[in-house]
């Protein structure tokens, strides 16, 4: 599945945990969970881990090996393979550990 959009601001929670994300609108609310993904930005491809949240109608992608400001940029996010379903965490440390594991799995799947 491929999604296109203009990167907008989000809650910045992932950024605070060390995983800044590019956020676009999620147009298909039947999609949810964490995915290995590919992101296309200005004719360059990046591998990423993405989270599809149908409740907030947002698709967040953490681009590996990228630094910079993506706000206002047009990107496409292709969800390659689902890693896991959405989960609830009791604290930020549990969430950060899950995000770390998700990122490792996404890199493994896309390498």
Q: Which of 3-7, 20-24, 58-62 has the lowest mean pLDDT?
A: 20-24
Asked whether 52 and 33 are in contact (CB, 8 A), the reply is yes
Give the mean pLDDT of 31-56: 95
Q: What pLDDT band is residue 32 in, cutting at 50, 70 and 90?
A: very high
> What's the predicted TM-score (pTM) here?
0.89
Q: What local confidence, expressed as pLDDT, does residue 15 receive?
A: 58
Which percentage of the chain shows pLDDT scores above 70? 91
DSSP letters, 22-87, are EEEE-S-TT--EEEEEEEEETTEEEEEEEEEETTTTEEEEEETT--S--TT-EEEEEEEEEEE---
Q: Give the whole-angstrom CA distance, residue 57 versus residue 85.
A: 16
Check pLDDT > 80 for residue 39. Answer: yes
> What residues contact 23, with CB distance under 8 A and at least 6 apart?
7, 8, 9, 10, 58, 59, 60
Could you give the domains of the chain?
Answer: 2-110 (2.40.30.30)
Q: How does pLDDT run across 64-111, given as a tens digit for each residue?
A: 988 888 899 999 999 999 999 998 888 888 888 998 999 999 999 998
């Amino acid at each position: 599945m491929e999604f296109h959009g203009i990167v907008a601001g989000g809650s910045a929670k992932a950024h605070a945990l060390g995983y800044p994300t590019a956020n676009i609108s999620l147009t298909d609310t039947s999609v949810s969970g964490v995915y290995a993904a590919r992101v296309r930005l200005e004719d360059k491809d990046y591998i990423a881990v993405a989270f599809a949240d149908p409740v907030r109608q947002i698709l967040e992608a953490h681009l590996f090996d990228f630094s910079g400001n993506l706000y206002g940029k047009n990107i496409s996010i292709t969800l390659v393979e689902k890693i896991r379903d959405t989960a609830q965490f009791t604290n930020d440390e549990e969430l950060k550990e899950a995000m770390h594991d998700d990122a490792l799995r996404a890199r493994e799947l896309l390498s």
